[in-house]
Amino acid sequence: MSSGLLLLLLVGLALLATHVVSDWVARKLVVVSGAEYLVIGVLLGPAVFGVLTEAQLVQFAPVRLLVLGFIGLALGMRCRLSALVGVPGIAWRLAFSQAFLTLATVAALTAVLLGAINGTSVADAVPPAIALGAIAVVSLPQAVEVGARALGREGPTVELLRTATLVDGLVGVCTFGMLLALNHPAVAGLGRTPTPTEWAVIATGIGVASGVLFHLFIGSESSSDRVVVSLAGATLLATGAAAHLGLSPLYSTTVMGAILVNTSRHRDVLEGILRRAERPLVFVMLILAGATWRPGVGVALVLPVLVYLLARWVGKVGGARFAARANGVLGIHGHDWGRALLGQGSLALAIGFAWLENDNAVLPNLVFSAAVAGVLFTDLSAARTVRRVLEPLLPPEGAAALTVGGPAEPAEPAGATGAGT
């Protein structure tokens, strides 16, 4: 079967999944679709049935790059300042605290383990460990929405979780973007190799320039078709330039998305385009990621992945609990609100994919395998876990919700028991 026909079939499957299957599954089963398409990709790939061959996966590289760009763009478009300024400061403190604690926990433990079992030097163990930390930080925002919708109630913990998923995504993408800048190899043919700081500025500049060029292309145009074409062109420009220079397409397009959502008069049209296009593209990426994955059974691969999963659980649950206790809000958000952030999602897999395809990456398959394992082991249960965490914390229907800076911690904090499995 030709590569073009296969791609059309994959896109058709993704569109069908988006408009028919995933919404029904979310409503009826309280499940976020995603992991099953990763499994489909594994079955279609060279490791099992070989429907997608190695040569075809190489030909699909531009498609993967475009999907990475749209995922980063969607994250940046969530950074609408007019909405973010209304989020209470305590929510930002809690979100950033658990994000950085998760990053530090996973990076430190995996760096030690990689050096111990692989004989990897410190210099070689730190970059993949930081990449694993960046992946571990990321949480699944769709799980929060599906879980909260299943309960039909709102409250301060739902607002906190929405803020935390945004912060997790930004911390993960920015950490990964700076990692590629700091770990950038020397470039042959240049009179002077840019410093890590200069590479970071270049990665940011690509996003800024792409956002500016979008404005130049679109002007005062009101046609939605031209907006779509201009957005796709600017995204391709940002992802192509970043990838060509060995930088992070996710980071550059996140910067671009943040600029567009805060400066473009077409922001509502852009958000609508992303809502319609993001999920089909994500499903395509999940299938391609599954086909690309090369699972292993050796201790040098399996043990770090298991340690990654355990360290991430400790970082998310323990970091969230520590942050809530330090800020005196355990009585509002409970001991286990970090469990609601255990789902990984497409952004985590995209970071793993970007590390796998980076020419300077150390242990790329191990890092990618950890990202795949995170999606497989957490995503299907993520929305149900959110529902279990929120149920004892949200006020009954018709009752007044607690404010984020509400009463002091009671003797037996709400949500201390029965808040999840």
55-86: pLDDT as tens digits? 888 888 888 888 999 999 999 999 999 999 99
Please give the share of the chain, as a percent, with pLDDT higher than 70. 84
* Matching residue, tokens 């692989």: 118
Q: For 360-377, write each residue's pLDDT tens digit.
A: 898 999 999 999 999 999
Please determine, looking at this structure, whether the domain spanning 3-390 carries the CATH number 1.20.1530.
yes
Residue 20: predicted pLDDT: 57
Residue 88: DSSP 8-state: -
Q: Residue 351 in contact with residue 131, Cβ under 8 Å?
A: yes
Phi, psi of 138 (to 5 degrees): -65, 140
pLDDT grade, residue 229 (50/70/90)? confident
CA 418/CA 325 separation, integer angstroms: 19
pLDDT reading at 7 higher than 60 = no
Q: Which amino acid is at 413?
A: P
Task: Please tell me the predicted confidence (pLDDT) of residue 64.
Answer: 87
Which pLDDT does position 49 carry in this prediction? 79
* Dist. CA 360–CA 362, nearest whole Å: 7
Q: Mean pLDDT, to the nearest integer, of 167-178? A: 97
Quick one: pLDDT at residue 418?
37
Residue 414, pLDDT above cutoff 70: no
Model pLDDT for residues 230-257, shown as the tens digit of each residue: 888 889 899 999 999 999 999 999 999 9
pLDDT tens digits, 293-340? 988 777 888 999 999 999 999 999 999 999 999 999 998 999 999 999
* CB 252 within 8 Å of CB 236: no
Tokens of 344: 């990984």
* Lowest mean pLDDT across 141-155, 221-235, 286-300: 221-235
pLDDT tops 60 at residue 394? yes
Across the range 406-414, mean pLDDT stands at: 38
Question: pLDDT per residue over 261-295, tens digit each?
Answer: 998 887 888 888 888 877 888 888 888 898 899 88
Q: How many CA atoms lie within 13 A of 150 on its CB side?
A: 26
Nearest to 355 by CA among 248, 227, 199: 248
Of 308, 312, 334, which is closest to residue 323 (Cα–Cα)? 334
- Mean pLDDT score of the chain, rounded to an integer? 85
Residue 1: per-residue pLDDT: 54
On the 0-12 / 13-18 / 19+ scale of CB atoms within 10 A, 55 is: exposed
Tell me the pTM: 0.88
Q: Is the pLDDT of residue 194 over 60?
A: yes
Task: Count Cα neighbours of 80 within 13 Å in the Cβ-side half-sphere.
Answer: 13
Residue range 182-208: mean pLDDT, rounded: 88
Q: What is the pLDDT of residue 283?
A: 83
Residue 400 pLDDT > 60: no
Distances in Å between the alpha carbon of 61 and those of 7, 11, 239, 363, 416?
A: 12, 15, 12, 20, 47
390: nearest Cα among 94, 150, 92, 32: 150
State whether residue 77 is helix, strand or coil: helix
- CA torsion, ordered 320, 321, 326, 332, to nearest 10 deg: 100
Higher-confidence position of 412 and 39: 39
pLDDT tier, 182 (very low <50, low <70, confident <90, very high otherwise): very high
What pLDDT shows up at residue 410? 38
Tell me the C-alpha distance between 331 and 66, whole Å. Answer: 44
Which secondary structure element, helix H or strand E, spans residue 98, and what is its range? helix 89-117
> Cα(291)–Cα(193) distance, rounded to whole angstroms?
36
Instruction: Name residue, tokens 């904090």.
Output: 413
pLDDT of residue 26: 60
Which pLDDT belongs to residue 368? 95
Output the pLDDT for position 265.
82
Res 50: pLDDT: 81
Cβ–Cβ contacts within 10 Å for residue 378, how many?
A: 23
